[in-house]
Protein backbone atom coordinates (compact mmCIF):
# COMPACT_ATOMS: atom_id res chain seq x y z
CA UNK A 1 0.00 0.00 0.00
CA UNK A 2 1.17 3.56 -0.51
CA UNK A 3 2.43 5.78 2.28
CA UNK A 4 -0.82 7.78 2.13
CA UNK A 5 -3.07 6.61 4.94
CA UNK A 6 -6.81 6.37 4.35
CA UNK A 7 -8.96 8.49 6.66
CA UNK A 8 -10.98 6.96 9.46
CA UNK A 9 -14.63 7.32 8.51
CA UNK A 10 -17.45 7.14 11.00
CA UNK A 11 -20.81 5.91 9.76
CA UNK A 12 -23.21 8.65 10.77
CA UNK A 13 -26.87 7.88 11.43
CA UNK A 14 -29.22 8.34 8.49
CA UNK A 15 -32.57 10.03 9.10
CA UNK A 16 -35.66 8.30 7.84
CA UNK A 17 -36.36 4.68 7.04
CA UNK A 18 -33.56 2.18 6.58
CA UNK A 19 -32.45 2.41 2.96
CA UNK A 20 -32.82 -0.41 0.45
CA UNK A 21 -29.52 -0.83 -1.38
CA UNK A 22 -28.73 -2.86 -4.48
CA UNK A 23 -25.16 -4.04 -4.84
CA UNK A 24 -24.31 -4.98 -8.41
CA UNK A 25 -21.05 -6.87 -8.39
CA UNK A 26 -18.77 -8.40 -11.00
CA UNK A 27 -17.13 -11.26 -9.07
CA UNK A 28 -14.53 -12.24 -11.68
CA UNK A 29 -11.95 -11.84 -8.90
CA UNK A 30 -14.15 -13.49 -6.27
CA UNK A 31 -11.87 -13.01 -3.24
CA UNK A 32 -11.35 -9.33 -4.02
CA UNK A 33 -15.00 -8.53 -4.68
CA UNK A 34 -16.10 -10.53 -1.62
CA UNK A 35 -13.70 -8.47 0.50
CA UNK A 36 -15.15 -5.28 -0.92
CA UNK A 37 -18.68 -6.53 -0.22
CA UNK A 38 -17.77 -7.27 3.41
CA UNK A 39 -16.39 -3.72 3.74
CA UNK A 40 -19.63 -2.30 2.36
CA UNK A 41 -21.76 -4.58 4.56
CA UNK A 42 -20.01 -3.25 7.67
CA UNK A 43 -20.84 0.33 6.72
CA UNK A 44 -24.41 -0.41 5.66
CA UNK A 45 -25.26 -2.57 8.67
CA UNK A 46 -24.38 0.40 10.91
CA UNK A 47 -27.38 2.27 9.43
CA UNK A 48 -29.66 -0.75 9.25
CA UNK A 49 -29.69 -0.84 5.45
CA UNK A 50 -31.29 -3.71 3.58
CA UNK A 51 -28.79 -5.03 1.03
CA UNK A 52 -29.65 -7.04 -2.06
CA UNK A 53 -26.77 -8.42 -4.14
CA UNK A 54 -26.77 -9.38 -7.82
CA UNK A 55 -23.88 -10.65 -9.93
CA UNK A 56 -22.97 -9.70 -13.49
CA UNK A 57 -20.48 -11.46 -15.75
CA UNK A 58 -17.79 -8.80 -15.60
CA UNK A 59 -16.98 -5.14 -15.08
CA UNK A 60 -18.11 -4.24 -18.59
CA UNK A 61 -21.68 -5.26 -17.67
CA UNK A 62 -21.91 -2.97 -14.62
CA UNK A 63 -23.33 0.13 -16.40
CA UNK A 64 -26.03 -1.81 -18.27
CA UNK A 65 -27.07 -3.63 -15.09
CA UNK A 66 -27.22 -0.30 -13.25
CA UNK A 67 -29.44 1.14 -15.98
CA UNK A 68 -31.78 -1.89 -15.80
CA UNK A 69 -31.94 -1.68 -11.99
CA UNK A 70 -32.80 2.02 -12.05
CA UNK A 71 -35.50 1.35 -14.63
CA UNK A 72 -36.94 -1.34 -12.33
CA UNK A 73 -36.70 0.95 -9.30
CA UNK A 74 -37.36 0.06 -5.71
CA UNK A 75 -33.94 0.88 -4.26
CA UNK A 76 -32.78 3.99 -2.43
CA UNK A 77 -29.25 3.65 -3.73
CA UNK A 78 -26.89 1.52 -5.75
CA UNK A 79 -23.40 0.15 -5.15
CA UNK A 80 -21.17 -1.15 -7.93
CA UNK A 81 -18.21 -3.42 -7.18
CA UNK A 82 -15.72 -4.93 -9.54
CA UNK A 83 -12.04 -5.27 -10.31
CA UNK A 84 -10.01 -4.97 -13.50
CA UNK A 85 -6.35 -6.04 -13.35
CA UNK A 86 -4.03 -4.72 -16.03
CA UNK A 87 -2.79 -7.34 -18.45
CA UNK A 88 -0.49 -7.26 -21.44
CA UNK A 89 -3.01 -5.85 -23.94
CA UNK A 90 -5.03 -2.64 -24.39
CA UNK A 91 -8.16 -4.48 -23.15
CA UNK A 92 -7.64 -3.07 -19.63
CA UNK A 93 -7.70 0.54 -20.80
CA UNK A 94 -10.79 0.07 -22.99
CA UNK A 95 -12.75 -1.74 -20.28
CA UNK A 96 -11.84 0.75 -17.52
CA UNK A 97 -12.68 3.79 -19.64
CA UNK A 98 -15.95 2.31 -20.93
CA UNK A 99 -17.17 1.28 -17.48
CA UNK A 100 -16.22 4.55 -15.79
CA UNK A 101 -17.77 6.66 -18.54
CA UNK A 102 -20.90 4.52 -18.65
CA UNK A 103 -21.43 4.77 -14.91
CA UNK A 104 -20.71 8.52 -14.89
CA UNK A 105 -23.19 9.12 -17.71
CA UNK A 106 -25.93 7.22 -15.87
CA UNK A 107 -25.10 8.94 -12.59
CA UNK A 108 -25.17 12.43 -14.09
CA UNK A 109 -28.33 11.71 -16.09
CA UNK A 110 -30.37 10.15 -13.29
CA UNK A 111 -28.93 11.64 -10.11
CA UNK A 112 -29.50 8.40 -8.22
CA UNK A 113 -27.43 7.86 -5.07
CA UNK A 114 -24.50 5.75 -6.17
CA UNK A 115 -21.36 4.27 -4.65
CA UNK A 116 -18.79 3.29 -7.27
CA UNK A 117 -16.24 0.67 -6.25
CA UNK A 118 -14.37 -0.43 -9.36
CA UNK A 119 -10.75 -1.32 -8.65
CA UNK A 120 -8.49 -0.58 -11.61
CA UNK A 121 -5.13 -1.97 -10.60
CA UNK A 122 -1.89 -3.20 -12.10
CA UNK A 123 -1.57 -6.30 -9.92
CA UNK A 124 -3.80 -8.65 -8.02
CA UNK A 125 -1.80 -7.81 -4.87
CA UNK A 126 -2.93 -4.18 -5.22
CA UNK A 127 -6.54 -5.33 -5.49
CA UNK A 128 -6.19 -7.57 -2.44
CA UNK A 129 -4.77 -4.65 -0.42
CA UNK A 130 -7.76 -2.50 -1.42
CA UNK A 131 -10.27 -5.17 -0.42
CA UNK A 132 -8.75 -6.11 2.93
CA UNK A 133 -10.66 -5.75 6.19
CA UNK A 134 -9.24 -2.35 7.09
CA UNK A 135 -9.90 1.31 6.37
CA UNK A 136 -8.33 0.97 2.91
CA UNK A 137 -11.26 -1.20 1.79
CA UNK A 138 -12.69 0.43 -1.31
CA UNK A 139 -16.03 -1.36 -0.92
CA UNK A 140 -16.43 0.34 2.44
CA UNK A 141 -15.39 3.67 0.95
CA UNK A 142 -17.95 3.30 -1.85
CA UNK A 143 -20.61 2.51 0.77
CA UNK A 144 -19.68 5.64 2.75
CA UNK A 145 -20.03 7.71 -0.43
CA UNK A 146 -23.40 6.10 -1.14
CA UNK A 147 -24.73 6.84 2.35
CA UNK A 148 -23.66 10.47 1.99
CA UNK A 149 -25.46 10.67 -1.37
CA UNK A 150 -28.62 9.18 0.15
CA UNK A 151 -28.38 11.68 3.02
CA UNK A 152 -28.07 14.54 0.53
CA UNK A 153 -30.94 13.28 -1.66
CA UNK A 154 -33.22 12.94 1.35
CA UNK A 155 -32.37 16.43 2.57
CA UNK A 156 -33.11 17.94 -0.83
CA UNK A 157 -36.29 15.88 -1.23
CA UNK A 158 -37.50 17.43 2.05
CA UNK A 159 -36.57 20.95 0.91
CA UNK A 160 -33.75 21.28 3.44
CA UNK A 161 -31.42 23.29 1.22
CA UNK A 162 -27.94 22.19 0.29
CA UNK A 163 -26.79 20.67 3.57
CA UNK A 164 -27.49 17.16 4.67
Q: Please give the positions annotated as active site.
A: 91
* Residue 116 annotated in ligand binding: yes
* Residue 61 annotated in ligand binding: yes
Q: Angle between the 138-157 and 30-45 helix axes, to the nearest 10 degrees?
A: 40
- 159 — alpha (psi -120 to 50), left (phi > 0) or beta? left
* Residue 121 annotated in ligand binding: no
Contact 49/8 with Cβ under 8 angstroms?
A: no
* Residue 56 annotated in ligand binding: no
* Residue 100 annotated in ligand binding: no
Burial 7-27 (b: 16+ CB within 10 A, else e): eeeeeeebeeeebebbbbbbb
* Residue 89 annotated in ligand binding: yes
Annotated binding site: 28, 59-61, 83-85, 88-89, 116, 130
Annotated binding site for 5-amino-6-(D-ribitylamino)uracil: 28, 59-61, 83-85, 116
Annotated binding site for (2S)-2-hydroxy-3-oxobutyl phosphate: 88-89, 130
Amino acid sequence: MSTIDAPERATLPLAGPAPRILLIQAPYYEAVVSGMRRGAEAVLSAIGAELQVVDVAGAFELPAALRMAIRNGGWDGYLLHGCVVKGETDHYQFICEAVCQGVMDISAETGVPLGFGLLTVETLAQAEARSAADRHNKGGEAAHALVQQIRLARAWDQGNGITA
